[in-house]
Amino acid sequence: MTSDSELPRILVTGGSGFIGSALVSSLVAQGLPVTVVDLLPCPVDGVAAITGDLSTPDVLEAALAERPSVIFHLAARTSVLQSVHDPQGVFHVNVATTQALLEGARRIGAEAFVFASTNAVVGESGGRLIDEHSVLRPLTPYGATKAAAEMLCSAYSASYGIAACSVRLTNVYGPGMDRKDTFVVRLLRAAARGDAVTIYGDGLQQRDYLYVADAVAGFEMAWRKRVIGPVIIGSGRSTSVVELCDLGREAVGGDIATTSVAAPVGEMRAVRVDLGHARSLGYSPQVRLQEGLRLTWESLRPSPVIGRPA
């Protein structure tokens, strides 16, 4: 039997967010001691919670005070459009704060650092499969900040021996995302309110939609296997926006109207990812999109952000 003193001490930044709280819930369910730092109070019981801005020295030091051996770094500004309007602010949060946390990890002797990255570091792939060797040509400041943070993770692995892994997530969705501004939320909100959902362009752009529990499994795999470098975590199947709307109609059991507008700057035409590396490490996504949308609809429908219960 493992004693409490032998369990790894875990820090999760951004642990009150959509993906972060799902990860924290999974770690706590395994009996692991977890500290969460976030701007918002942590919704998960059984953790040590620090509420504050990780970019401030006092909050950073409080987060590192328990000398965690494992750090999951999910705290970030994630809005692509916001990054276009405020590139300096996004740089400060996504790059400078990551550097400060990596330096803190080096100082306390942390063994593993798992960073939440994105396929947006690659940019437009021309429809080709994206893998861990794809050239990084991000289209937006958001993608560029994640690419820069990945390079810092690489440097700290090579220079200081930290097992730093950049988990490149595709489009994550699922229960708990009601306050996110993503197409899946906008689609389900339109269904709940009887509104039309806005589609960019012709709606034939493709994305890989990843259920949140499968994203959590990817983070935990990266930690437990001590993966170094990038690893792509997705569903392995790309779906057009038009097809997603059809699946959404099936999930809600009714019609969802659509309207079209021009695509914004930085819109990628197709995201198709190769999960070969992740699969070789034992990763296997479990939830198909149709089932995931149904579960998401059932969880979000009662939310005042989405709409009233049927």
Q: Determine whether 209 is an active site residue.
A: no
Q: Is 149 left (phi over 0), alpha (psi -120 to 50) or beta?
A: alpha
End-to-end CA distance of the chain: 48
Task: Say which residue the tokens 């996110």 belong to.
Answer: 180
CA distance linking residue 81 with residue 92, whole number of Å: 16
Strand ranges in the chain using DSSP code E only, listed in sequence order:
10-13, 34-38, 48-51, 70-73, 112-118, 163-169, 171-173, 196-200, 206-211, 229-233, 238-240, 257-261
Render 160-186 in DSSP notation, one character per residue. H--EEEEEEE-EEE-TT-TT--SHHHH
* Rounded CA separation 61/63 (Å): 5
| Residue 58 DSSP symbol | H
Strand, helix or coil for residue 259: strand
Tokens encoding 184: 């899946």
Coil/strand/helix, residue 78: coil
The beta strands (E) that lie in 65-181 are given as 70-73, 112-118, 163-169, 171-173
What type of residue sits at position 66? E
Catalytic residue of the set 142, 156, 173, 211: 142
Active site (catalytic) residues: 142
